Amino acid sequence: MALDLDTREQLIDTVRRFVAERLRPIEAKVAEDDAVPAEIIEEMKGLGLFGLSIPEDFGGLGLNMEEECLVGIELGRASPAFRSVFGTNVGIGSQGLVMFGTDAQKTKWLPGIASGEIVTSFALTEAEAGSDSAAVQTRAARDGDDYVLNGAKRYITNAGKASLFTVMARTDPEAKGGSGVSAFLVPRDLPGLGVSKPEKKMGQQGAHIHDVTFDNVRVPAWNRLGEEGEGFKVAMQVLDRGRLHIASVCVGVAERLLADCVAYASERKQFGQPIASFQLIQAMIADSKTEALAARALVLETARQRDAGAGVTLEAAAAKLFASEMVGRVADRAVQIFGGAGYVADYGIERLYRDVRIFRIYEGTSQIQQLVIARETLKRGG
Ligand SMILES: Cc1cc2nc3c(=O)[nH]c(=O)nc-3n(C[C@H](O)[C@H](O)[C@H](O)COP(=O)(O)OP(=O)(O)OC[C@H]3O[C@@H](n4cnc5c(N)ncnc54)[C@H](O)[C@@H]3O)c2cc1C
């Protein structure tokens, strides 16, 4: 159910102020320390950010997709690393449980996820199963009332802090592709589950990814999410929603970069006048503005369609493709508009330029979004 308009405005205003007053001032330090301070994480919990998309019955804010995207846009105005702290709880780490969990599973875990007491991760990717995610080899073999998991996942966001993983593993080694894959809710403390040290990354310092290994991890059959063989369906539906969320964050980052560019170009003088008065600078600002507006409209319209019950696989892929490519171009123009200042660390533009690069890769690369869009368009006949 949608929030009433006053509550929605209040929520957005609260997030906007939190971003401006608490997150923006410490962005550079977070990047340098590669860590978000504990007190900021506590404030995020207090604001309900870990539970944005968790139904109210289970302690969350129960936002619909449009509301979640509006909040995502606000969050995009600070370093995307901050969003990552609770991003898995709001998206890929919780939505399988929300959409496919039994009441008992939801009651057990969702309140803790909504409050932030439980951090979640979504473990699909493997060394040989990236874009070809249906090729997962992590094995879940039934043994009495348990499944025994063996295998390794990689690049798993928040795995270092997670106490609950949604893991996609192969229950039927004979079945080809996605049909032999099932989803499991795997608590961190089960014996045999290992988490590697974090990877060094190009951007979004403060957000971490790890390998996760399973060495004869016994998971009760009760923890299976959905039916046996439904795991790939779970993963794809989770990603439909996740893609829209990511696209909304891309819009927020682009809008922030535009504001930074306008402020800088109005202040910086060359040839005796602000560089904003040069039409070649204005052209870059106009292109960025137009693309950001187009992405905002696509994201919010797709979110509204999803809230109305429509299937949005095509539109969510299009929103992710367009918004993530768009913010890359906007960040590139921002570096250009800032000139040398865009390239050195002090102004934070080069950091955002690096931060946004991942949006074109995770939750399906741009090429995978193109494949999805083409497949669905051909299916629909146009
Ligand atoms: C920071 C970060 C966070 C991540 N978080 C998570 C997470 O929480 N959980 C999780 O499960 N995974 C996560 N991932 C993994 C991420 O989803 C994958 O990296 C991504 O899906 C791409 O897979 P890959 O890296 O194996 O690249 P590959 O699949 O090897 O792709 C390499 C290139 O080939 C292209 N390509 C592949 N197949 C095709 C095709 N059929 N047609 C055309 N081009 C193709 C790709 O588009 C890409 O350009 C994360 C990754 C990173 C870097």
Which atom of ligand 1 is least distant from the CA of 157?
8
- List every span in the chain annotated with CATH 1.20.140.10: 233-380
State the closest ligand 1 atom to the C-alpha of 158, by its place in the atom list counted from 1.
8
Average pLDDT over the chain reads 97
Residue nearest to atom 32 of ligand 1 (CA): 131
Interior/surface letters 197-218, b for 16+ CB within 10 angstroms, e for the rest: eeeebebbbbbbbbbbbbeebe
Question: In the chain, which residues fall in CATH 2.40.110.10?
Answer: 120-227
Ligand 1 centre and the CA of 364: distance in Å?
6
- pLDDT value at position 3? 86
> Ligand 1 in contact with 130 (CB < 6 A)?
yes
For ligand 1, whether the C-beta of 119 sits within 6 Å is no
Q: Judge if the beta carbon of residue 50 lies within 6 A of ligand 1.
A: no
Tens digits of per-residue pLDDT, 225-257?
999 999 999 999 899 889 999 999 999 999 999
- Cβ–ligand 1 contact at 358 (below 6 Å): yes
Encode 58-70: b = buried (16+ Cβ within 10 Å), e = exposed.
bbbbbbbbbbbbb
3-state secondary structure (DSSP) of residue 277: helix
Whether domain 233-380 has CATH 1.10.3470.10: no
Give the CATH number of domain 120-227.
2.40.110.10
Checking if the pLDDT of 29 tops 90, the result is yes
C-beta of 134 in contact with ligand 1 (< 6 A): no
Pocket of ligand 1 contains residue 246 by CB under 6 Å: no
Ligand 1: distance of its center to the CA of 361 in Å? 6
Cα 207 to Cα 32, 159, 195, 317: the distances in Å are 12, 10, 15, 24
Q: Residues spanned by CATH 1.10.540.10 within the chain?
A: 5-115
Q: What are phi and psi of 139, to 5 degrees?
A: -105, 140
Phi, psi of 271 (to 5 degrees): 50, 30
Q: Rounded CA gap, 258 and 75, in Å?
A: 15
Q: Cα(153) to centroid of ligand 1, in Å?
A: 12
207 Cα nearest atom in ligand 1: 1
Positions annotated as catalytic residues are 363
CATH 1.10.540.10 fits 5-115, yes or no: yes
User: Which tens digits make up the pLDDT trace of 314-355?
Assistant: 999 999 999 999 999 999 999 999 999 999 999 999 999 999
pLDDT, residue 190, reads: 98
pTM of the model: 0.97
Cα distance between residue 224 and residue 145, in whole Å: 11
Distance CA 123, CA 88 (A): 11
Question: 333 C-alpha vs ligand 1 centroid, how far in Å?
Answer: 26
Atom nearest to 199 CA in ligand 1? 1
Point out which residues pair with 186 in neighbouring strands. 165
